[in-house]
């Protein structure tokens, strides 16, 4: 969480674990990391190593939103990939956990220069995706959260018995595979999965924004696009800062194959042969 520098893509090193292996990120799908690096390989094959993994992530996020029914928007490019690992402490300090209340949500986003509307709009990204039971069962056991609709809670208890740690459920019960404004309709019906979701409707600072987005999808799309562009420019590395990774999961200085290629090229240019 050093900014939009592709730090979450890095594997751990001998010096310690990476952001990718931090507990909040363990549910990120391994296939997604493979897809990002496959895109990197295809782009670099056609264009050379001039496009960063960070830019590929930003573009992939935009296209994923659009292809599932959400807004299209222009993505400013020119990011460079970071050289430093983010620690597990960095991850916990910057991400919003599922048990967070609205104050925590707003404070965490404000630290990245994102305002209240941005915070609610970006939370609307939960219109797509799934969650594992442990992220929300504190709202079901030992007593049910009174802000949760009873019928909704009873259905969740069937999916997630008290001791279950592996089952999953959709974040948006109305249209789980479509990017739309139904997440906000869920909140108005007390069917938000996480505390960090439902509290946006409970809290008077954000309730009106939730309502506006629930009744006006185009407004949500507009504000979501603005917030995504703003978030994508947090603590950027540009120009000669950072690097363009030859493998999204490894810094160039740790990439044995890249270093081998560089040495072989230098030796070849010197007119020598490798043995």
CATH of domain 97-227: 1.10.420.10
Across 47-60, average pLDDT = 96
Question: How far, in Å, CA of 95 to CA of 122, rounded?
Answer: 13
In 3-state terms, what secondary structure has residue 243?
A: strand
The residues, ordered by sequence, that sit 6+ positions from 186 with a Cβ below 8 Å of its Cβ are 172, 173, 174, 192, 197
Q: Around Cβ 243, how many Cβ atoms within 10 Å? A: 19
Residue 13 has a pLDDT of 63
pLDDT band per the 50, 70, 90 thresholds, residue 25: confident
CA-to-CA separations, 53 to 94, 178, 250, in angstroms, rounded: 21, 26, 11
Question: How far, in Å, CA of 101 to CA of 111, rounded?
Answer: 16
Across 174-199, average pLDDT = 98
Question: How far, in Å, CA of 248 to CA of 196, rounded?
Answer: 31
Across 205-217, average pLDDT = 98
Rounded CA Rg of the chain: 21
pLDDT over threshold 60, residue 266:
no
* 105 vs 12, residue with greater confidence: 105
Q: What percentage of the chain reaches a pLDDT higher than 70?
A: 91
Question: Is 1-95+245-275 in CATH node 1.10.520.10?
Answer: yes
Residue 14 has a pLDDT of 52
| Burial readout 251-264 (b: 16 or more C-beta within 10 A, e: otherwise) | bbeebeebeeeeee
In 3-state terms, what secondary structure has residue 105?
A: helix
pLDDT band per the 50, 70, 90 thresholds, residue 263: very low
Regarding pTM above 0.95, the answer is: no
Question: How far, in Å, CA of 35 to CA of 51, rounded?
Answer: 15
Residue 2 has a pLDDT of 63
- Residue with the two structure tokens 């562009």: 229
**Domain assignments of the chain as residue spans, ordered by start:** 1-95+245-275, 97-227
- Residue with the two structure tokens 């010197």: 270
The residues, ordered by sequence, that sit 6+ positions from 235 with a Cβ below 8 Å of its Cβ are 2, 3, 4, 5
- Are the C-beta atoms of residues 6 and 246 closer than 8 Å to each other? no
The residues, ordered by sequence, that sit 6+ positions from 183 with a Cβ below 8 Å of its Cβ are 123, 124, 126, 127, 171, 172, 192, 197
- Residue with the two structure tokens 């893509």: 9
pLDDT in tens, 147-170: 999 999 999 999 999 888 889 999
């Amino acid at each position: 969480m050093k900014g939009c520098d592709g730090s979450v893509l890095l594997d751990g090193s001998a010096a310690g674990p990476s952001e990718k292996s931090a507990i909040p990120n363990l549910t990120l799908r391994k296939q997604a990391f493979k897809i990002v690096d496959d895109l990197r390989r295809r782009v670099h094959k056609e264009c050379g190593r001039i496009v960063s993994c960070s830019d590929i992530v930003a573009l992939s996020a935009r296209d994923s939103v659009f292809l599932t029914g959400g807004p299209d928007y222009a993505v400013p490019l020119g990011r460079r990939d970071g050289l430093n690992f983010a620690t597990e402490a960095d991850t916990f300090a910057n991400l919003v956990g599922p048990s967070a209340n609205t104050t925590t949500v707003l404070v965490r986003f404000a630290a990245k220069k994102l305002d209240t509307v941005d915070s609610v709009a970006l939370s609307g990204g939960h219109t797509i995706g799934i969650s594992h039971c442990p992220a929300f069962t504190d709202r079901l056991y030992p007593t049910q959260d009174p802000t949760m609709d009873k019928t909704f809670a009873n259905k969740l208890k069937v999916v997630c018995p008290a001791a279950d740690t592996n089952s999953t459920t959709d974040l948006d019960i109305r249209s789980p595979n479509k990017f739309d404004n139904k997440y906000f309709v869920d909140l108005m019906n007390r069917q938000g999965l996480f505390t960090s979701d439902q509290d946006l409707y409970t809290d008077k600072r954000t309730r009106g924004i939730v309502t506006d987005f629930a009744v006006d999808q185009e407004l949500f799309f507009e504000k979501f696009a603005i917030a995504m562009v703003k978030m994508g420019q947090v603590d950027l590395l540009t120009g000669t800062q950072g690097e363009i990774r030859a493998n999204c999961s490894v810094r160039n200085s740790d990439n044995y194959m890249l270093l081998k290629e560089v040495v072989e090229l230098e030796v070849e240019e010197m007119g020598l042969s490798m043995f």
